[in-house]
Amino acid sequence: MKLAHRLLLQSLAIVAVMVISVVLIIDNQLHNNITERTTHDLAGEARLLALQWKPGVNADSLADNAGAATGHRITLIDGAGHVVGDSDFDGAALLRLENHSSRPEVASALASGMGSSKRMSPSTGEEQLYVAIKSSQGVVRLSVTTKAIARVFAGARQGVIVAGVMSFLLATILAALFARAVSKPITDLRDIARSIAAGGPATQSVSSAPGEIRELADAINWLARELQAKLNALEAEQTRLKRLENVRRDFVANVSHELRTPLTVVSGFAETLKDPDIPTERRTEFAQTILSNAQRMQRIVDELLDLTRIESGNWQPRQQPVDVGEVAREVFARASSAAQAKRVCLTTRIAQGATIVWADRTALEQILFNLVENAIRHTTDGSVSVEASDGDGATTLKVVDAGGGIAEEHLPRIFERFYRVEPGRSRDTGGTGLGLSIVKHLAEAHGGTVCATSVVGQGTSIIVRLPNKGPAQPVTTSLQRE
């Protein structure tokens, strides 16, 4: 059954019980009041009559006249209990009436001045209300049938019942309005909950809900928003996990791909070397090829291990003041033969405030070496310079070359692992595609950043920004390979 209907029925049941109780109470009181009122009126009339019943007055004709005037039965009884006048009995009938002194109302009137009683009249055979008043001549008694009282009572009761029915109807209308007002916000809430369960919006408002229902609605809305937020977070987490899984898969594919070529070369040439008829000079050449491919694999594995160590947080930079110029000179010394081979001139441009950088020395050397090596690799007959400047709480290191540059669409990706603009050419020149990725991770481990600008045909600048003085980091392991 609908909530509104249940509320309406329950309210109506309460109202009905109340209306019936009120009607019963009023009915009872009305009955008592009417009896009391009649008794009082009869007593008043009896007193008036008592004043008229003087010595020498014919009691029976007084009773007849007063009875005709008031419409009540009037009985005049002398002090000894004999009926001396009665509006309903005359002559012989009057004389036959028995002594009334034992009648309860007469007895109490004689004793205390007034008495009343309700009983069957032996004279008329109907139930009567008797009221008796003591007078100087005896007792004046008036009576009326209870049927007459019942008629008055029935008239009054009708009014009470009409009022009861009217108030019940009015209460029904009010209860219907009340049931609607209470059930509407609750059905609204139910609709909201259903909408949420169906994945719909939770922001639907509850129509003019009062007090606790408003609070309940707010609580449900809050719950729904929380749920939505949690779902969103879960979805984001799932997306992140999927991305991670893709990264992992790509990584495994990339590593296998990178190792496959040198492995094939190594096993191929080793196979060939098994042939005893190969001339010595060819033998040396093959051995050299095997060695260089093994070294290439060694380099890939070493660089991957470096990356993993930095990424996992196992390695932390041992930050200290480092002379940039000195590190640049050492890097140039390591790269000098390659630079000479390509007729590349190596220079430094270090601003006065930037001679010292707050960095891990080994890491800084690796950063600069990777960048200078790349720059030389992509430059012929030009210059490569290491520049350092200071500002905004950081030292900016730039490796600028006058090489072929990098097309715009590749720029955002060159820091990814194994990403190469020209994979074949890079591999031929010994590149693994991990250098810039290592640079990026090292810079970030220092709390720094790295970015690249390039113009095709003019050259490239790789810019590393390291904060001037990072927080002292606990040293765990060194990046230097054993």
Ligand X SMILES: Nc1ncnc2c1ncn2[C@@H]1O[C@H](COP(=O)(O)OP(=O)(O)OP(=O)(O)O)[C@@H](O)[C@H]1O
Contact with ligand X (CB under 6 A): which of 67, 85, 433, 467? 433
Contacts of 370 (CB under 8 A, 6+ apart): 435, 436, 438, 439
CB of 434 to ligand X, least distance (A): 4
Determine the residue with CB nearest ligand X: 435
Residue reference for tokens 């070496």 = 369
Instruction: Select from 128-136, 187-195, 308-316, 431-439 the region that touches ligand X (CB under 6 A).
Output: 431-439
CB of 450 to ligand X, least distance (A): 11
Residue reference for tokens 């694999």 = 297
DSSP state of 266: H
Of the two residues 83 and 376, which places its CB atom closer to ligand X in the complex?
A: 376
Q: Which does 406 bind (CB under 5 to 8 A by kind): ligand X, Mg ion, none?
A: ligand X
Of the two residues 70 and 370, which places its CB atom closer to ligand X in the complex?
A: 370
Contact with ligand X (CB under 6 A): which of 62, 189, 460, 466? 460
Q: Which does 432 bind (CB under 5 to 8 A by kind): Mg ion, ligand X, none?
A: ligand X
Of the two residues 423 and 470, which places its CB atom closer to Mg ion in the complex?
A: 423
- Position 221: which residue type? N
Region 390-429 residues binding ligand X, contact defined as CB under 6 A: 401, 403-404, 406, 414, 419-422, 426
How many residues line the site for ligand X (CB under 6 A)? 22
- Dihedral over alpha carbons 178, 182, 188, 190 (to 10 degrees): -130
Contact with ligand X (CB under 6 A): which of 370, 385, 395, 396? 370
CB of 429 to ligand X, least distance (A): 8
- Position 103: which residue type? R
Of the two residues 130 and 415, which places its CB atom closer to ligand X in the complex?
A: 415
Of the two residues 179 and 327, which places its CB atom closer to Mg ion in the complex?
A: 327
Rounded to whole angstroms, the Cα distance separating 74 from 50 reads 11
User: Long-range contacts for 309-313 (Cβ within 8 Å, ≥24 apart)?
Assistant: 309/477, 309/479, 310/438, 310/441, 310/442, 310/445, 310/479, 311/441
Contact with ligand X (CB under 6 A): which of 192, 434, 450, 479? 434
The pattern of x and - marking residues 404 through 443 that bind Mg ion according to CB under 5 A reads -------------------------------x--------
CB of 430 to ligand X, least distance (A): 6
Rounded to whole angstroms, the Cα distance separating 251 from 76 reads 130
Of the two residues 317 and 431, which places its CB atom closer to ligand X in the complex?
A: 431
In terms of DSSP bridges, do strands 345-350 and 383-391 run parallel, antiparallel, or are they unpaired?
Answer: parallel
Rounded to whole angstroms, the Cα distance separating 374 from 303 reads 15
DSSP state of 316: -
CB of 296 to ligand X, least distance (A): 10
Helix axes 211-273, 280-312, angle to 10 degrees: 160
Residue 226 exposed, middle or buried by CB count within 10 Å (0-12, 13-18, 19+): exposed
Rounded to whole angstroms, the Cα distance separating 286 from 290 reads 6
Of the two residues 11 and 293, which places its CB atom closer to ligand X in the complex?
A: 293
Contacts of 188 (CB under 8 A, 6+ apart): 204, 206, 207, 209, 217
Contact with ligand X (CB under 6 A): which of 149, 196, 432, 443? 432
By the criterion CB under 6 A, which residues form the site for ligand X? 370, 374-375, 378, 401, 403-404, 406, 414, 419-422, 426, 431-437, 460
By the criterion CB under 5 A, which residues form the site for Mg ion? 374, 435
